[in-house]
Amino acid sequence: MAALTAALCDIESVSGDESRLADAVEAALSGREHLEVLRDGDAVVARTRLGRAERVVLAGHIDTVPLAATPNLPTWVTGDGQEAELHGRGTVDMKGGVAVQLALAASLTAPNRDVTYVFYDGEEVESERNGLRRISGTHPDWLAGDFAVLLEPTAGAVEGGCNGTIRVEVETSGVAAHSARAWMGHNAIHEASTLLGRLTAYEPLQVEVDGLVYRESLNAVRIAGGVAGNVIPDRCVVTVNYRFAPNKSPADAEAHLRELFTGYPVTVTDAAGGARPGLDQPLALAFVAMVGGEPLPKYGWTDVARFSEIGVPAVNYGPGDPLLAHSDDERVPLTQVRECLERLRGWLSGA
Ligand SMILES: [Zn+2]
């Protein structure tokens, strides 16, 4: 696993430049009798077709963020035995997980459930370039399944569901005037203090969904206004980001914000629903029991929500400390990669 993870990392694949790695993954899996191998752009999908009662999807992105200023590739190992860690771009996010997928795809010739392995491009960039999003449009059947595991780094814990996110622009208006005769105007920036006051006073909820507690947040993330150094501004725009628990739809979240900002025009600029953890389903419960430990909620928005959108309950579970993702000293304990492989192998090989 150490050599495989290192080899995957050493094929540099910053978003937009995944072809070489996608070719390597495709070459490694095609020609294996137990797999059907499919390709869409720089995404590779391999699946068994054994006619099992259930199908599990194991998915991971093959792109990474750019290298550190002092290039952190090729990879290198420090420590040995149980202490060994693989350093370099992609080791945590998320080629340790991709190595697990690839090893399982190659070696599990007769899994107890049908398995679809998804290796996709464009996750670390804007949503329009996301390979999983593309496939859900071009070949939704490739993603079909009863349960999905995204092998994003969670340090071996199961993280279920995720919060949704919505961004709105709230506008205050005033009357422009020369600042020497300010009483002739009405200051839109001062007016914004009313909005900021509502945000400051707001107490975010903690919401329990399917047994996990999701912590919401509501924040101003940008403010814009002002015309010149001698003009009373007639317009100010506060951009607000609301991270909402997965029991609310984007429409619910929007209604909540419109109510909070009553009296001011609200424009939605983008929104994405969250995902329920789905930990009430038998397959998900069996998975959690196999991995052990308490499942945790995910606060950030992840591709788990894309599976949720197409009706496939999904969780994150993979090797590597998520706090080290994208960092200059990205590194994964190789024991975590092996442990993830062994647990998934056990889950997919048992009776
Ligand atoms: Zn990732």
pLDDT by residue, tens only, the chain of 351 residues:
999 999 999 999 999 999 999 999 999 999 999 999 999 999 999 999 999 999 999 999 999 999 999 999 999 999 999 999 999 999 999 999 999 999 999 999 999 999 999 999 999 998 899 999 999 999 999 999 999 999 999 999 999 888 999 999 999 999 999 999 999 999 999 999 999 999 999 999 999 998 899 999 999 999 999 999 999 999 999 999 999 999 999 999 999 999 999 999 999 999 999 988 888 888 888 899 888 878 998 877 889 999 988 889 889 999 999 999 999 999 999 999 999 999 999 999 976
Q: How far is the CA of 295 from the centre of ligand 1 (A)?
A: 19
Q: How far is the CA of 152 from the centre of ligand 1 (A)?
A: 5
Q: How far is the CA of 27 from the centre of ligand 1 (A)?
A: 23
Rounded to 5 degrees, what are φ and ψ at 70?
-95, 105
Query: Does the active-site annotation cover 85?
Result: no
Q: What is the CA radius of gyration of the chain?
A: 24
How many C-beta neighbours within 10 Å does residue 213 have? 11
Query: Does the active-site annotation cover 17?
Result: no
| CA angle centred on 46, ends 44 and 47, rounded to 5° | 150
pLDDT confidence of residue 123: 95
- How far, in Å, CA of 18 to CA of 61, rounded? 10
- The amino acid at residue 232 is I
How many C-beta neighbours within 10 Å does residue 271 have? 17
Q: What share of the chain is helix, strand, coil (3-state, %, to 5)?
A: 35, 30, 40
Q: How far is the CA of 120 from the centre of ligand 1 (A)?
A: 11
Q: How far is the CA of 349 from the centre of ligand 1 (A)?
A: 27
- Buried (b) or exposed (e) across 242-266, using 16+ Cβ within 10 A? bbbbbebebeebbebbeebbeebeb
- Buried (b) or exposed (e) across 317-343, using 16+ Cβ within 10 A? bbbbbbebbeeeebbbbbbbbbbbbeb
Residue of 26, 42, 63, 121 with catalytic role = 63
- How far, in Å, CA of 230 to CA of 226, rounded? 10
164, 167, 165, 183: which is closest to 175 by C-alpha? 183
For residue 265, say if its preceding peptide bond is cis, omega within 30 degrees of 0: no
- How far, in Å, CA of 225 to CA of 218, rounded? 21
Q: What is the pTM of this model?
A: 0.85
Q: How far is the CA of 325 from the centre of ligand 1 (A)?
A: 8
Residue of 93, 123, 146, 303 with catalytic role = 123
Q: How far is the CA of 334 from the centre of ligand 1 (A)?
A: 18
Q: How far is the CA of 26 from the centre of ligand 1 (A)?
A: 20
pLDDT confidence of residue 331: 98
pLDDT confidence of residue 126: 86
